[in-house]
Structure 1
Amino acid sequence: MKKISYTLSMLVIVAITMVSCKKFLEKEPIGKTGKNTLFETVDGAKLAINGSYNSILFYYKNEFGMYADVTSDNLIRGNSTSVMLPQFNFQSSSGDDAFAVGHIWLNIFEALNGANNILAAIPSLSSKFPDQAASLDGIKGEALVMRALCHFDLSRAYAQPYNFTTDASHLGVPVLLKTPSPGEPVARKTMKQTYDQIILDLNDALPLLQKYANHTTQVKITYQAALALLSRVYLYKGDWTQCINYANMVINDNAYRLATQAEYKSVFLMTPKADASPKIENIFALTNNGLTSGVSSIFSTFSDAATAGYAASVKIKSSFGNNNDDIRLTEMFTVPTSGQNAGSSLTKKYGDGLVSSVNPPMIQVIRLSELYLNRAEAKWNLKQYPEAAADLTVIAQRAHKSPVTITYNSDPALLYRQIADERNRELCFEGHRFFDLARRKESMVRGTDCNSTTCLLTYPNDKFVLPIPAKETDANKALIPNPGFN
C-alpha cells in the first residue's frame, strides 16, 4: 500500500473540513478520489479524525457556540455589533444563508460528514491492517461520539425540544449515517428517531472507547466524555433515571474532580495537563491552541475588550448576589475602562479582555460541574428533593467563600428555581441558557437593560428554533421547513 505523503493528507483534510458553502445536502462534499486517497492507510484515518475535531471546534467557536447565549437573557448588545444580530432580535430568516442560519447548518453538517466518512472507511482499513484493529476501533469510537454530538447540536438549534410533543413525534433533523448522493432526497426524522440514533451511537462508542481510546488529554473524546454526553442527552429527553445513572458513572469513578476556587479560572484559560490525575473539571474540551480567533468568533465577540459585541446583562450579574462572595462574579468578569466596551461587563471564559493579542486556548464542551447539575435536576424530577439539594450544594459551595447550605424545606418549586438559577450561574456563556429554557418550557424574559427588539419570548413559540435554510429546502423537497419563518 502506497503511503500518503503528509502534505497530500493535509490537503485532503482541508477538502473535508472546509468545503464550499453551497447546498450541502444536494452534493457530496468531497471528491471520491480524495476520500479514497485519504483512507488508504491508518495514518490517513488518524489525520481525518484530527480534522473532524477541528470541524467541531469551528462550529463551537463561531455562531453555534454563541447562539444559546445571544438568544437568552444573559447578554445585551454592545455599543456596536452586527454579529448574530438577527438572532439576538429573533428576526432570523430562512434566506439568511450567508449568516448564522446558514452557517450553523452547514458547519455542523460538514463535521457530521467528516465523522461519517471515517466510519465508512473503518471496515476496509480493519481488513487491510488487522494488526492495527485496536487503533482503528478507538478511532471508530471517537467518530461515533462526534456523529452523535453533531446530530444533538443540530437538533438543539433547528428542532423544538424533545418534550415539545408528548411522544416526540414532531420534526427533528435529518439523520445521516452516510454522505447522501447528489440529488438524493433527505427527509427530517422525528425527534424520537433523532434521539434514538444519538443514544445508539453513544452507546456503541462506549466499549470501543473504554478499551481502545486511552487518551490522557481532555481535548480528545474519551469513555468518560461519552458517558457525560449521555447524561446530558437523557436530561434533554427527560429520562431522569438514565440521566442520573450516567452522571453517577463519571462522578463516582474519580477520574475527574471539581476545580478548587483557586483553580477555577484556569479551567477556561489554560490547556489541560495530560499528566493530571484525577483530571480537573474538563471532561471534554476543544483546543484552539495554535489557531487564530477571528473578530466574529466567540472569543472576540464575548471577551475581547476592543471587539466584544455583547456584554453581560444586569440580570445575570445580579443573580450572583451583591456581596462579592461568589468567585464566578469576582473572577470571571472584566469591566474595560476604555474603548467601545468601557464600563460593560464581559465574561472572562474566553479571554481576559485581551483576546485580540493572544490565541485563546479552550472551548468547553462538557465539564464535571454540569453532571452535578444534571443529576440535581433529574433527582428533583424524581422527587428526591434532599438528594437534589445535596448536589446543588456541592456546586454552590465550590463557588462561594462563605459556607453554603441548601436544604429542602418542603418547597419543591423553590428548590427547582434554585437548581435552574445555579445552572445558569455556573454554565453561563458556555452555550446552554436558551436551550435550557426551551427544554424546561420556560419563556425567555430579558431584564431591565434589554436593548433587543424582543425582550420577551413566550413559550411555546416558533422562534425557539432557527429556520431551515431556504437553499436547503429549495434543493431538497423532502426537507420540511420550520413553521413561522419566511
Structure 2
Amino acid sequence: MKKEFIKYSLLVLVCFSMMACNDWLSVKPKTEMEAEDLFSTEAGFKDALAGVYTAMTKSSLYGREMTYGIVDVVAQQWGSIGTNHRYANALKYEYEATNTKPIIDTLWSGLYNAIANANSVLAYIDKSSVIFTGDNKQIIKGEALALRAFLHFDLLRLFCENAKSTSDEDGIPYVDELTKQVTVSVSPAKVVERVIQDLTDAATCLANDPVLTGREVSTSEDDGYLVNRNYHLNYYAVMGLMARVYMYAENTTEARRCAMVVIDAHKNRNVFPWADKNDVLNEKKEIRDRTFSSEHLFALNIKKLTDYIEGYFMSTSVPLLTRVSPGTLFVAGNDFRSFFFETMNYVGDVPSKLWQMDGVTVDGQLLTPKRDRMPMIRLSEMYYIVAECDKAIPATAVARLNEVLASRGYDDSELLDPISVNSADAVQAEILNEYRREFIAEGQLFFYHKRMKDEKLNGYTVNYVFPKPDTEIEFGK
C-alpha cells in the first residue's frame, strides 16, 4: 500500500464536510486526533464512524466519480462528452491519459483511506473498556465491518477483471488490520470470500438494529444516533449488499436468498416503502422527492452535492445528457422517472434527479425537499436481482419486474406482457432497460455491463479494468 496509507492507519481522519440530519453528526471537525484519545469515549467511536461515511462523500469518490462521474462515463451513460471535456479520454477507455489517470489513482487512494478509517474503529472497539449505550457497540462494529466490505467490493469491481480468478496478481489488497507492513494483493476470489465474511459478521452485529427489530427510536434518544438508518449501512443494506456481491460472483442461489430478505421485509413490514407519487410528482417542483428517498436501503448524505453537480447538471450550458434519449428510454408515458428531465439554459432533457432545490413557501410555510442524498443501494435492485435469478421461468421474473414498474407509475396496459417477454434473453433485455432507467447518475450501469461481459458499448471495445497506481505496483507488489 502507499506510504500515505500507513499514516492513516495510525491516525483517524475525521472530516465533517458532510453532516447528516442527525444531531450526532453535528460536531466540530477533528483531524489527526490520537487514536487512543478518540476511542476513549462512545462519542469518539461515533465520530470516527461518521468520518468514514464523510470520506465517501467527496467528489473524488461517491460525491461524483463513483456515481455520475467517470464510472457512468465508461458505462457510456452520457452522450454529451466533447473532445475538450475532462472525461474525453475516459469515454474511449484511455485510462493512462493525463486527464484520466489522476482520477483513477485518487479513486484507489480515497477508497483505501476510507478503509483505513473503518479499520481504526474495528481495531479499538473490541478491546475498548468504554461503556456503550444499549446496543451501540455492536451496531457501530457492524457498520464498520459493512463499510470495509462495501469499499473493498467496489475496489474489486473497478480494478479486477472478474470475481473468479484465483491469482493474487489479478487481485487487490484486502486490508483488514492496522499495520505498518505493506499489504499484498489477494486473488479476486479471496476478496469476495472476505467481503462475504465481513458482511456475515456485520449482519450478526446488527441483530438489534432498530430497522430490523422494529423498535421505535425518537430523535431525543441518544441524540438521535439510531434515527435515519438508511444513512447507515444498516441490517437490510448489508443484506442488499450481500445480494449484489453474490450476483457479481455468479452465485445466484445466495444472491436470491439475500435479496428476498429485503423484499420480504418490504412487503411484510413496509420497510423502505415505494416512493409516494405525491412526493415524487408534486405540482411544486421545488419539493419533489427526486431520488425516491424512501426506497434507499443505504444513501450518503452529501451536503456539498449542490457544489459538486455544478457544471454537470446545473449552472452550465453543456450539462451531461443521457446517450439514449429520454423519449427512447422511457417508452411508458406514465413512468415517474421520465419526469426528471428538464430544460436548463435552453438545453432540453437535462437529467434533474440530482438537482438540489431549496424548497418553496406555501401559505406562509416553507416546504423543503428531501435533498442531499446519493443512493448507494436501492430496493428496486433487489427486485432486479431476483428477476434475473428467476429468468429461466420468464413469467415469474416478469412479475417481479412489473412490481417495480407499477411503483414507477405504469398502468396495467404499460406493464410487461409475459407472452412477449417469454424467454430468459428477453427478461435479461428488460433488466438492462431498467438499469439504464433506474440508475442514471448512480454508477451501477457500468458494473452491470461488466458482470454481463458486454464487449462493446457505444461502438467502443470496453476496458473494464482500471489500472492500479504506479506506486501500488512498485511498493505493493
Task: Give the TM bin, normalised by the shorter chain.
Answer: 0.7 to 0.9
| Aligned residues: CA RMSD | 3.0
- TM-score, structure 1 length as denominator? 0.78
Equivalent in the alignment of 1:173: 172
Q: Distance in 2 between matches of 1:417 and 1:397?
A: 18
Determine the structure 1 residue equivalent to 2:461: 457
Q: CA 1:194 to 1:161, structure 2 compared with 1: closer, same or farther past 3 Å?
A: same
Q: Aligned-pair distance for 1:354?
A: 9.5
- Tell me how far 1:141 sits from its aligned partner: 0.6
Q: Which residue of 1 aligns with 2:145?
A: 144
**Distance verdict in 2 for CA 1:34–1:104, change over 3 Å:** same
> Structure 1 residues 397 and 359 mapped into 2: Cα distance closer, same or farther (>3 Å)?
closer
Identity, in percent, stands at 22
Displacement of 1:267: 4.3
Matched residue type, 1:160? E
Match of 1:246 in 2: 258
Give the aligned partner of residue 482 of structure 1: none
Cα deviation for residue 376 of structure 1 reads: 0.7
Match of 1:346 in 2: 350
Q: 1:75/1:256 Cα in 2 relative to 1: closer, same or farther (>3 Å)?
A: same
1-structure distance, mates of 2:155, 2:424: 33
Matched length: 417
**Structure-2 change in CA distance of 1:208 and 1:97 (3 Å):** same
Shift of 1:335: 2.5
1:412 aligns with 2:420: no
Tell me if 1:388 matches 2:397: yes
Query: Any conservation in 2 of the 1:293–1:360 contact (CA below 8 Å)?
Result: no
2-side partners of 1:442 and 1:109: how far apart? 28
Name the residue aligned to 1:424.
436
User: Hey, what's the Cα distance between the residues in 1 that align with 2:434 and 2:207?
Assistant: 32
Greater relative contact order, per chain length (Cα 8 Å cut-off, separation 6+) = 1
Task: Give 1:288 deviation, angstroms.
Answer: 1.7
Which residue of 2 is the match for residue 5 of structure 1?
none
Q: Counterparts of 2:167 and 2:384 in 1: how far apart (Å)?
A: 24
* In the alignment, structure 1 residue 475 sits paired with structure 2 residue 472: no
Q: 1:261-308: CA deviations, max 9, x gaps?
A: 4434644458x6xxxxxxx2111111123x4654xx3x3354214276
Match of 2:362 in 1: none
Gaps of 5+ in 2: 12-31, 212-225, 282-287, 360-368
Query: Could you tell me how far 1:386 is from its partner in structure 2?
Result: 1.7
Alignment of 1:215-226 (within 5 A): 215-217=226-228, 218-226=230-238
Partner of 2:342: 334
The amino acid across from 1:324 in the alignment is: G
Runs (5+) with no aligned partner, structure 1 = 1-20, 273-279, 447-454, 479-486
Q: 1:344 to 1:89 in 2, by over 3 A?
A: farther
Q: Deviations over 1:25-72 (max 9, x none)?
A: 465454497222211222111111111111122221132222331112
Task: Kindly report which structure 2 residues correspond to 1:312-323, keeping only aligned pairs within 5 A, or say none.
Answer: 312-314=322-324, 318-321=328-331
Q: Which amino acid aligns with 1:118?
A: V
- TM-score of the superposed pair, with normalisation by structure 2: 0.79
Residues 1:153 and 1:140: Cα distance change in structure 2 (over 3 Å)? same
Q: How does 1:60-99 map to 2 (within 5 A)?
A: 60-65=62-67, 66-78=69-81, 82-93=85-96, 99=102
Instruction: Tell me the residue number matched to 2:106.
Output: 103
Q: 1:385 to 1:143 in 2, by over 3 A?
A: same
Q: Secondary structure at the match of 1:252?
A: helix
> What is the rounded CA distance, in whole Å, between the counterparts of 2:289 and 2:153 in structure 1?
25
